[in-house]
Amino acid sequence: MKEIIDFLKQNKLEIMYGVPDSLMAGLINEIIKTNTAQVSITPNEGLAVASAIGYYMATKKVPCVFMQNSGIGNAYNPIVSLASKEVYSVPIVLFIGWRGEIDEQGAQIADEPQHKLQGEITLDQLRLMKIPYLVIDGKQKLKDYEKYIDIAKKEKKPVAFVFKRKAINSSTKNQTDLTKYSHYPTRKQAIEVISQYYKNTPIFCTTGKSSRELYEMNEKYAKQHDFYCVGGMGHVSTIAQQYKLNSNSREVVCIDGDGALLMHLGSMQTGANVNGFTHIVLNNYCHESVGGLPTNIESISVVNLAKAFGYSKVSSIKQLDEIQKVLNETDKEGSNFIEIRVSVDSTRTLPRPKKTPNEYINEFMEREFS
């Protein structure tokens, strides 16, 4: 940790753009706490790379970009078609958390199913993009990092530091005050009401803690399982929309998150035009499962945004007892957008689905909905 902080300071790496990652949460929060560099949270990883390019053009200084390795897909196009040496030749230092990492013996460390393939191909992706990289296990010295900043500066190209799971031994405690939202209902409380209300309506739930809490509710009430979108942050609403358009279900519900909504905001354009689609966003203003850094959605009225996109009915909920009332009043013939403001609650240990994603999707596809 100290070597990385020293590396940033000594090389005057003053800004970091990115999407929070659980493996680097401690590092990013330490950087914020010590004011080592300005940290700017972006809606997705591609925008982080684009932001870094703009910063370099204005300052001629090397920027940093941080992400989980799942975000390489979002970053691939602006890296290859803009920042690469073959195009605009922009030096960028990438900090990448390696979920599903491969150990020195070539075996994969156990992780969530959505990280299996991504973990296997992460280093291959960097090699394919011609990005020099250093795998960080916490044993590196300052000189090890210096070698790669020299490559970035001399060759004017992106380089990468790939962080193993135990490379950062530091608290992931969030440095941003989110206690001001503690008066809102918890995400679990909101999901329980939604789950019980839609007993025979297909529910599509976003990746992260939301899906695990929906799973918990389904197990608690012995309800058939819904679609848990364990990966692909920001894509669940599009999956739900196309399911509605191509199935016989009268209504489809999507439980989304504020970070996921921002990541691929364009999905709202289609969602607003899908009749029988109810888009519920649980808004806690942060990336809770990866360290609690803010999503920066506070400056946006998602309700006004949904109205602008053209959802038939738009609502915002701040109290638990309002949820069922609003669900009762949804437009069954049109599209609905519901924001439910929830508190940040990372204190509980959540259960994980017992079956594989493939088993759950097959069970879901065999269900008969009303």
* Same domain (yes/no): 265, 235: yes
Beta bridge partners of 293: 287
The two three-digit tokens of residue 16, written as one number: 């970091």
Residue 331 has pLDDT above 60, yes or no: yes
The verdict on 159 and 187 lying in the same domain is no
- CA 167, CA 136: separation in Å to the nearest integer? 6
Residue 213 is assigned to a structural domain of this protein: yes
Confidence of residue 292 (pLDDT cuts 50, 70, 90): confident
Token reading at 7 = 């590396």
Q: Which domain holds residue 257?
A: 183-366
Among the ranges given (131-135, 233-237, 250-254, 295-299), the one the predictor scored with the smallest mean pLDDT: 295-299
From 101, 129, 163, give the residue that closes a domain. Answer: 163
Q: List the one residue out of 17, 27, 156, 129 whose CA is nearest residue 73.
A: 129
| 260 shares its domain with 311 | yes
The answer to whether 255 and 203 are in contact (CB under 8 A) is yes
pLDDT tens sequence across 144-202: 999 999 999 999 999 999 999 989 865 555 555 667 778 899 999 999 999 999 999 99
Q: Are residues 236 and 95 in the same domain?
A: no
Residue 178 lies inside a defined structural domain of this protein:
no
Amino acid identity, position 193: V
pLDDT at 287 over 80: yes
d(CA 56, CA 39): 15
CA 85 to chain centre: 28
Overall average pLDDT of the 270-276 stretch: 97
Question: Are the C-beta atoms of 258 and 281 separated by less than 8 Å?
Answer: yes
- Choose among 263, 217, 200: nearest CA to 237: 263
Q: Give the total number of structural domains in the chain.
A: 2
State residue 286's pLDDT score.
85
Q: State the chain's mean pLDDT as an integer.
A: 93
Q: How far apart are CA 369 and CA 107, in angstroms?
A: 42
pLDDT at 288: 78
Cβ contact 151:137 at 8 Å = no
Question: Do residue 199 and residue 279 come from a single domain?
Answer: yes
Say if residue 189 is in the same domain as residue 60. no
Q: Apex CA 124: angle with CA 48 and CA 152, to 5°?
A: 50
Bigger pLDDT: 287 vs 28: 28
User: Where residue 112 sits, what CATH number does that domain have?
Assistant: 3.40.50.970
